[in-house]
């Protein structure tokens, strides 16, 4: 029964003659005409309804005793209704607001007169017919002429699209602009539309008016963003989103494309319209700027690097001469090089410059004009933390030349600093970057150094946050749509406390170590870390870097070598030639790759899975098999301890300090 009823309800009316059914076209046309005419009858019906209402109020309150009180009450209520109409129609165009308010005033005034004289008395009846007919006709004209306020294809006038149009036209009028809104699209966390500007107005006028529009609409600051339309300067795009969406930090959800290529987008946060922040690194140099406490290092920096570490075709060379390992320490296993001195910073840049021609030749041999995934060369990322201190010490002319050449050879430079003004770095460096991430800053003057001109003109204001919302930033990097370059976003957070952040990053770096990424012989020349001691003077730096290598590979290790505790220490200042570095095991053994060597070590550790303690000297056969040196096995054992696979007791007797940690059920 239900199906038959539904079918009958939607089937057009047909006439049957001689067994042949045909559509009743005239009936269909009449029904369609009535449906279109019905909305236009509403003003006339309401106007005619005033006559019986006036008759009722006159009969009820038209007596001499009640009339004074009724007149006063009707006058006050009419004035109140008129004021309410003016207030609630503030988002309408001026003409619509005046028409709505005028209609309310005329109707309440005529009802007062009809209550006193009666609706059929003259001139009350004449005025009612004249004013009512005029207002009804005016509403008919407005309904015919004005576009649908509900959207592109009709619909309810109370939809979000309708309110968006009314909001923009009404608030723009308060700001002195006359606009029309078309092409509205509503999404879960944002609404966009094309704003057609009146003659004589530009998109810059609209951008300057946004604060006034937000105030007039009682909206949070940053709700509206106007973006120029490259195809039509008079029709920019306006986006409405909710800045309160990013009030709380958002924990890092994990890598977006683990094992993928660095050419694929890096997911690093969320915009306030709910869409992910995804940036494309190859082909760009990036400037990251923000005041102390804005999380430009551990929020923005760690999140970008955390994504980079999970890509198979990229190497990261990290420089921080100010904080040493404070920022880089938890990431160290995933870095191909870490430099903490001025000499080391200059050295890595010189070495990169030295291999560029070979890399470009390798790309040219493949008929490539720029780096591409699968070309056989890993992409190089030179990350400079606290860059102002580095720029103050190195030769900037050479650095600018490196920036110009590196992109063609397959590399990017990312520099992070607190204030990118001309006293901290040459203006040319910022111009070479062409990609900007600006976190919270102290004031609008500082904001100008961290934003592009387009971001400033579009209304980006990072001084709104300062350091109060770590991780908040504006992003103009390849991969980000132009309409979002002035939309606030929030980069992921690695934890709710510093301890959890450090632990999360250390675990992530251990899971994606640099040793597991293949590097071609040319790029390998710059992937050798110079272990530097933080805070030493320049004239001692070379000596310290050399002696640190001697200590790592030459100083006897009691655990590994089984040396007597009374053995005299090796002088670390002695010439390297006098203290040959002889590995354990067969010196003629062929070196295995790091991955193959780790498999051999895993097999050796499996023998101690019963919990028996062991020392490095009991793993000497691993070095014999792999052809590697003791420094490698010490490094891997340290990684396993930090990853929670091994327990380590530095005070253990007879040098058996390690134990395989037993697995427990969660």
Give the torsion sign (CA, 355, 361, 365, 367).
positive
pLDDT at 568: 46
Span 159-173, average pLDDT: 82
Is residue 605 one of the residues assigned to a domain?
yes
Residue pointed to by tokens 């749509």: 481
Final residue belonging to a domain, choices 99, 119, 145: 145
Q: What CA–CA distances, in Å, run from 198 to 13, 107, 179, 180, 212?
A: 48, 34, 6, 8, 18
Contacts of residue 595, defined as CB under 8 A and 6 or more positions apart, other chains included, come to 516
Quick check: 356 pLDDT over 60?
A: yes
What is the share, in percent, of the chain residues with pLDDT greater than 70?
A: 77
Q: Would you call 65 exposed, middle or buried from its count of C-beta atoms within 10 A (0-12, 13-18, 19+)?
A: exposed
Final residue belonging to a domain, choices 241, 256, 287: 241
Q: Which of 15-24, 46-55, 337-346, 488-497 has the lowest mean pLDDT?
A: 15-24
| Helix or strand run (H / E) with residue 306 | helix 302-309
Same domain for 353 and 212, yes or no, is no
Q: How many CB atoms lie within 10 A of CB 129?
A: 13
pLDDT at 36: 60
Task: Report the DSSP pairing between strands 190-197 and 411-417.
Answer: unpaired
Q: What CATH number corresponds to the domain at position 218?
A: 3.30.980.40
Contacts of residue 514, defined as CB under 8 A and 6 or more positions apart, other chains included, come to 315, 316, 333, 334, 335, 336, 527
Between the CA atoms of 396, 400, 405 and 409, what dihedral angle is there, to the nearest 10 degrees? 70
Span 566-589, average pLDDT: 42
Same domain for 498 and 389, yes or no, is yes
pLDDT at 33: 55
Greater confidence, 39 or 165?
165
What is the share, in percent, of the chain residues with pLDDT greater than 90?
A: 29
**Total domains in the fold of the chain:** 4
Q: What CATH number corresponds to the domain at position 423?
A: 3.40.50.300
Q: Which of 83-92, 156-165, 370-379, 579-588 has the lowest mean pLDDT?
A: 579-588
Is residue 97 one of the residues assigned to a domain?
yes
DSSP 29: H
**Residue 312's pLDDT band (cuts 50, 70, 90):** very high
Same domain for 360 and 448, yes or no, is yes
Same domain for 128 and 165, yes or no, is no
Instruction: Judge contact between 581 and 629, C-beta under 8 A.
Output: yes
User: Which long-range contacts does 440-444 make (Cβ < 8 Å, 24+ apart)?
Assistant: 440/290, 440/291, 440/293, 440/294, 440/464, 440/465, 440/466, 440/467, 440/468, 440/469, 440/470, 440/472, 440/473, 441/289, 441/290, 441/291, 441/294, 441/466, 442/291, 442/466
Contacts of residue 470, defined as CB under 8 A and 6 or more positions apart, other chains included, come to 249, 293, 294, 295, 299, 439, 440, 493
Average model confidence (pLDDT) across the chain: 78
pLDDT at 179: 87
Span 270-292, average pLDDT: 93
Q: What is the CA radius of gyration of the chain?
A: 38
Number of H helices and E strands in the chain, helices first, is 22, 18
Give the torsion sign (CA, 279, 300, 487, 447).
negative
Q: Which of 32-41, 435-444, 453-462, 596-605 has the lowest mean pLDDT?
A: 32-41
Is residue 91 one of the residues assigned to a domain?
yes
Residue 212 is encoded by which pair of tokens? 């006034």
pLDDT at 303: 96
Quick check: 292 pLDDT over 80?
A: yes
* Closest C-alpha among 194, 96, 195, 184 to residue 146: 96
Reported residue count of the chain is 666
Final residue belonging to a domain, choices 91, 116, 145: 145
pLDDT at 477: 94
Distance, CA of 451 to CA of 435 (rounded, Å): 9
Distance, CA of 393 to CA of 525 (rounded, Å): 24
**Residue 26's pLDDT band (cuts 50, 70, 90):** low
pLDDT at 601: 85
Is residue 10 one of the residues assigned to a domain?
no
Task: Report the DSSP pairing between strands 266-271 and 489-491.
Answer: antiparallel
Span 140-168, average pLDDT: 60
* Closest C-alpha among 344, 301, 298 to residue 319: 344
DSSP 157-177: TTSHHHHHHHHHHHHHHHTT-
Q: How many CB atoms lie within 10 A of CB 577?
A: 6
Task: Report the DSSP pairing between strands 179-187 and 337-339.
Answer: unpaired
Same domain for 370 and 462, yes or no, is yes
Residue 457 is encoded by which pair of tokens? 């003109």
| Helix or strand run (H / E) with residue 190 | strand 190-197
Q: What is the span of the domain harbouring residue 606?
A: 579-660
Distance, CA of 379 to CA of 53 (rounded, Å): 81
* Closest C-alpha among 432, 504, 479 to residue 286: 432
Same domain for 139 and 169, yes or no, is no
Same domain for 284 and 165, yes or no, is no
Same domain for 236 and 271, yes or no, is no
pLDDT at 66: 72
Same domain for 107 and 179, yes or no, is no
**Residue 334's pLDDT band (cuts 50, 70, 90):** very high
Quick check: 13 pLDDT over 70?
A: no
pLDDT at 576: 38
Residue 420 is encoded by which pair of tokens? 């990118």
Same domain for 640 and 600, yes or no, is yes
Same domain for 294 and 353, yes or no, is yes
Distance, CA of 263 to CA of 299 (rounded, Å): 22
DSSP 385: S
Greater confidence, 535 or 132?
132
Is residue 6 one of the residues assigned to a domain?
no
Distance, CA of 311 to CA of 200 (rounded, Å): 50
Is residue 571 one of the residues assigned to a domain?
no
Is residue 530 one of the residues assigned to a domain?
no
- pTM of the prediction? 0.57
pLDDT in tens, 596-638: 788 888 878 877 877 788 887 778 778 777 777 777 888 888 8
Is residue 171 one of the residues assigned to a domain?
yes
* Closest C-alpha among 191, 212, 221, 192 to residue 472: 221
Instruction: Judge contact between 475 and 275, C-beta under 8 A.
Output: no
Instruction: Judge contact between 282 and 378, C-beta under 8 A.
Output: no
**Residue 557's pLDDT band (cuts 50, 70, 90):** very low
Residue 390 is encoded by which pair of tokens? 């580095």
Distance, CA of 454 to chain centre = 17
pLDDT in tens, 47-92: 677 778 777 877 777 677 777 777 787 778 778 877 777 776 655 5
Distance, CA of 83 to CA of 453 (rounded, Å): 44
Same domain for 205 and 352, yes or no, is no
pLDDT at 23: 46
């Amino acid at each position: 029964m239900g199906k038959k009823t539904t079918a009958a309800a939607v089937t057009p009316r047909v006439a049957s003659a001689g067994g042949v059914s045909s559509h009743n076209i005239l009936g269909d046309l009449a029904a369609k005409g009535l449906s279109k005419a019905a909305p236009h009858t509403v003003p006339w019906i309401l106007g005619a309804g005033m006559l019986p209402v006036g008759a009722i109020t006159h009969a009820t309150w038209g007596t001499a005793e009640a009339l004074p009180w009724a007149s006063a009450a009707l006058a006050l209520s009419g004035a109140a209704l008129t004021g309410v109409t003016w207030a609630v129609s503030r988002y309408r165009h001026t003409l619509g607001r005046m028409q709505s308010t005028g209609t309310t005033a005329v109707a309440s005034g005529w009802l007062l007169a009809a209550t006193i004289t009666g609706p059929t008395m003259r001139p009350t009846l004449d005025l009612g017919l004249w004013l009512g007919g005029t207002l009804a006709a005016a509403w008919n004209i407005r309904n015919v002429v004005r576009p649908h306020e509900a959207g592109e294809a009709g619909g309810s006038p109370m939809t979000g699209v309708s309110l968006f149009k009314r909001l923009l036209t009404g608030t723009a009028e308060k700001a002195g602009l006359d606009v029309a809104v078309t092409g509205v699209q509503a999404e879960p966390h944002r609404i966009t539309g094309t704003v057609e500007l009146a003659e004589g107005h530009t998109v810059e006028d609209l951008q300057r008016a946004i604060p006034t529009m937000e105030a007039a609409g009682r909206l949070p600051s940053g709700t509206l963003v106007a973006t120029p339309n490259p195809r039509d300067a008079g029709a920019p795009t306006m986006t409405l989103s909710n800045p309160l969406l990013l009030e709380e930090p958002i924990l890092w959800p994990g890598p977006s494309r683990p094992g993928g290529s660095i050419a694929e987008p890096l997911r690093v946060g969320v915009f306030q319209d709910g869409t992910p922040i995804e940036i494309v690194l190859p082909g760009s140099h990036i400037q990251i700027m923000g005041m102390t406490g804005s999380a430009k290092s551990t929020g923005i920096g760690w999140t970008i690097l955390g994504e980079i570490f999970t890509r198979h075709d990229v190497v990261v060379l990290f420089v921080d001469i100010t904080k040493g390992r404070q920022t880089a320490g938890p990431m160290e296993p995933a870095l191909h090089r870490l430099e903490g001195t001025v000499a080391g910073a200059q050295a890595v840049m010189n070495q990169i410059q030295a291999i560029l021609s070979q890399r470009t030749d390798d790309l040219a041999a493949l008929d490539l004009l720029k780096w591409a995934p699968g070309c056989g060369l890993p992409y190089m990322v030179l990350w400079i933390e606290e860059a102002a201190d580095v720029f103050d010490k190195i030769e900037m002319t050479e650095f600018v030349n490196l920036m110009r050449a590196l992109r063609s050879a397959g590399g990017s430079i990312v520099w992070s600093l607190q204030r990118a003004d001309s006293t901290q770095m040459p203006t040319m460096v910022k111009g070479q970057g062409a990609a900007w991430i600006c976190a919270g800053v102290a004031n609008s003057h500082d904001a100008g150094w961290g934003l592009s001109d387009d971001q400033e003109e579009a209304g980006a204001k990072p001084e709104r946050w300062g350091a109060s919302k770590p991780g908040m930033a504006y992003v103009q990097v390849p991969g980000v749509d132009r309409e979002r370059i002035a939309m606030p976003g929030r980069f992921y957070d690695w934890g709710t406390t510093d301890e959890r952040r450090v632990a999360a990053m250390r675990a992530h770096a251990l899971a994606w170590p640099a040793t597991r990424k293949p590097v071609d012989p040319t790029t390998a020349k710059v992937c050798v870390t110079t272990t530097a001691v933080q805070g030493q003077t320049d004239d001692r730096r070379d000596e310290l870097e050399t002696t640190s290598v001697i200590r790592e590979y030459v100083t006897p290790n009691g655990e590994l070598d089984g040396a007597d505790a009374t053995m005299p220490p090796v002088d670390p200042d002695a010439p390297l030639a006098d203290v040959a570095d002889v590995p354990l095991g067969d010196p003629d053994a062929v070196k295995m790759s790091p991955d193959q060597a780790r498999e051999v070590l895993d097999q050796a550790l499996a023998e101690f899975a019963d919990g028996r303690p062991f020392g490095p000297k009991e793993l000497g056969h691993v070095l014999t098999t792999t052809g590697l040196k003791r420094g490698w096995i010490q490094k891997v054992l340290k990684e396993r301890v930090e990853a929670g696979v091994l327990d380590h007791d530095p005070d253990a007797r007879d040098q058996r300090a390690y134990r395989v940690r037993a697995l427990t059920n969660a």
